[in-house]
Amino acid sequence: MKILASVMENVIKRNPNEPEFHQAVKEVLESIEPVAEKKPEWVAAGIFDRIVEPERQIFFRVPWVDDNGKVHVNRGFRIQFNSAIGPYKGGLRLHPSVNASILKFLGFEQIFKNSLTGLPIGGGKGGSDFDPKGKSDGEVMRFCQSFMTELQRHIGENTDVPAGDIGTGAREIGFMYGQYKRLRNDFTGVLTGKGLTWGGSLARTEATGYGLCYFMDEALKAKGKSFKGTTVVVSGSGNVAIYATEKVHQLGGKVVALSDSNGYIYDPDGIKLDTVKKLKEVERKRISEYVKFHPNAKYTEGCAGIWSIKCDIALPSATQNEIDENSAKTLVANGCYAVGEGANMPSTPEAVDVFLKNKIIYGPAKAANAGGVATSALEMCQNSMRYSWTFEEVDAKLKNIMINIYKAASAAAKEYGDEDNLVMGANIAGFLKVADAMYAHGIAY
Ligand code: NDP
Ligand code: 2IT
């Protein structure tokens, strides 16, 4: 980096001890350096300095009472990162690891991802260090109500529209929506991922996993390959992992492994998704229980070992930095030729280098997992119209969006001289639209 080196230095200085945020910014700045060279007027207008600084960051106290009457205090966050092309849009993560660094990395990524969808949505992210795991429904409800009591001041259907992410699924969105409606007396599309009886969109539940496969299918097709007959490893066993697995099976591949934060299962016969859905979506149990129902399957404690399973295609769909350099090398050595990121930033920078050097068909997160937020934008669209599309209609739009994202990323990679580098292509294609809008708005933010 030459022109943008000082931007990176300032990010590090201004946001000390935020390694995930630095990691996400560095990757984007490295990719868009050639744009800075071509666009001195954007440099002069401070576009690059401004885009790395959130427009607004909201941190707040979230007190709640557990079933034994004990008071707990969590921290709530909403990072309103960029509204140049639409209202802030992005999920809410509920996980004990949540902090400003993680939410700023996620909010920053979301700007470019949302731009790539082609739909009018800005970038944001939020959440809390609250851990829904092991809590009763009543405790989760009281937390969500307390969280929304503050968050509602800052969001709105034309301002900021949160959704789910790790730890925030249909149950949590329901509790939050109920509280928003009660406080504001307003039935509006302020959250996405809503239930189907109260404004949710068909296919939103499936969208991230399905979209990931539509994207990868297109990338594979460009190299004369497909999912048919492939062996696939998917990490995680949450929303993204489950519906990625479902679509891989529909496309003729076989998923042989899934994980959670405790360990992974390997089923050489192919994962039986009905069992996983029952365990994870209904009973909220651990993935280890799977082997009780399928004795041919094996459970291994610790989740990193999943990448040592031989596969053609890997779809990391759990969390950030889950594939390090060694895991990436192991995947490549075992013959893996395609990696599609369902999770946000699941590969460390060193792992990404291994994939690019070895010419792996590599679908970076902000392109490959954009189907979730794209379908959220379709949910907003349906809410505005007070109308709903059929599953088939939403699914067809989703597929089309994912194909277009692949085309936009690969065209930008080609134009900027590094064909097949979808990291660079996705970063540039996502950035151009946002930068153009920011430039048009003057020094507004
Ligand atoms: P869920 O909460 O439904 O599932 C998360 C899964 O990942 C669980 O199996 C969880 O295991 C595992 N996991 C979470 N944290 C860790 C960790 N620190 N180490 C190992 N495993 C972990 O979340 P989603 O499926 O929605 O999200 C998965 C990823 O996809 C995230 O990176 C998210 O940001 C990204 N994403 C999600 C979208 C969506 O629409 N939901 C859209 C685009 C991206 P355990 O149960 O043990 O915690
Ligand atoms: O990371 C993501 O894109 C999401 N968690 C989905 C966000 C959304 O607004 O649907």
Domain residue spans of the chain: 5-187, 207-363
Which ligand has the shortest distance to the CA of 201? 2
Domain 5-187, what fold?
Answer: Rossmann fold (3.40.50)
Q: Does residue 208 have a known ligand-binding role?
A: yes
Rounded distance from Cα 47 to ligand 1 centre (Å)? 32
Q: What's the whole-number mean pLDDT along residues 94-110?
A: 98
Q: Which residues contact 443 (CB under 8 A, 6 or more apart)?
A: 45, 46
Rounded distance from Cα 90 to ligand 2 centre (Å)? 5
Q: Does residue 164 have a known ligand-binding role?
A: yes
Mean pLDDT for the chain? 98
| Atom number of ligand 1 nearest to Cα 376 | 40
207-363 carries CATH number 3.40.50.720? yes
E strands present in 179-262? 231-234, 254-259
**Fold matches, 5-187 and 207-363:** yes
Q: Does residue 113 have a known ligand-binding role?
A: yes
3-state secondary structure of 294: coil
E strands present in 294-408? 298-301, 313-315, 338-340, 361-363
> 251: how many CB neighbours lie within 10 A of its CB?
17
pTM attached to this predicted model: 0.98
pLDDT band at 97 (very low <50, low <70, confident <90, very high): very high
292 in active site? no
| Catalytic residue (one of 39, 104, 125, 366) | 125
Which ligand has the shortest distance to the CA of 211? 1
Percent of the chain residues topping a pLDDT of 90:
99
**Residue from 103, 112, 265, 319 whose mutation best tests the ligand 1 pocket (most atoms within 8 A of CB):** 319
Q: What's the whole-number mean pLDDT along residues 299-315?
A: 97
Residue 445 has pLDDT above 90, yes or no: no
Rounded distance from Cα 377 to ligand 2 centre (Å)? 10
Per-residue pLDDT of 246-279, as tens digits, reads: 999 999 999 999 999 999 999 999 999 999 999 9
Residue 63 has pLDDT above 90, yes or no: yes
Alpha-carbon distance of 346 to 327, in angstroms, equals 12
Beta carbons of 108 and 163 less than 8 angstroms apart: no
Per-residue pLDDT of 390-441, as tens digits, reads: 999 999 999 999 999 999 999 999 999 999 999 999 999 999 999 999 999 9
Q: Does residue 110 have a known ligand-binding role?
A: yes
Indicate whether residue 164 lines ligand 1 (CB < 6 A): yes
Using only C-alpha atoms, the chain has a radius of gyration, in whole angstroms, of: 21
Q: Which residues contact 83 (CB under 8 A, 6 or more apart)?
A: 55, 122, 445
Which ligand has the shortest distance to the CA of 240? 1
pLDDT band at 363 (very low <50, low <70, confident <90, very high): very high
Q: Specify whether the backbone of 236 is left (phi greater than 0), alpha (psi in -120 to 50) or beta.
A: left
Q: Which residues contact 352 (CB under 8 A, 6 or more apart)?
A: 27, 328, 362, 364, 423
Q: What is the largest CA-CA distance in the chain?
A: 64
Per-residue pLDDT of 125-177, as tens digits, reads: 999 999 999 999 999 999 999 999 999 999 999 999 999 999 999 999 999 99
Residue 444 has pLDDT above 90, yes or no: no
Q: Among candidates 430, 254, 236, which has minimal Cα distance to 343?
A: 236
Q: What's the whole-number mean pLDDT along residues 331-360?
A: 98
Q: What's the whole-number mean pLDDT along residues 284-290?
A: 97
Indicate whether residue 237 lines ligand 2 (CB < 6 A): no
Rounded distance from Cα 157 to ligand 1 centre (Å)? 26
pLDDT band at 300 (very low <50, low <70, confident <90, very high): very high
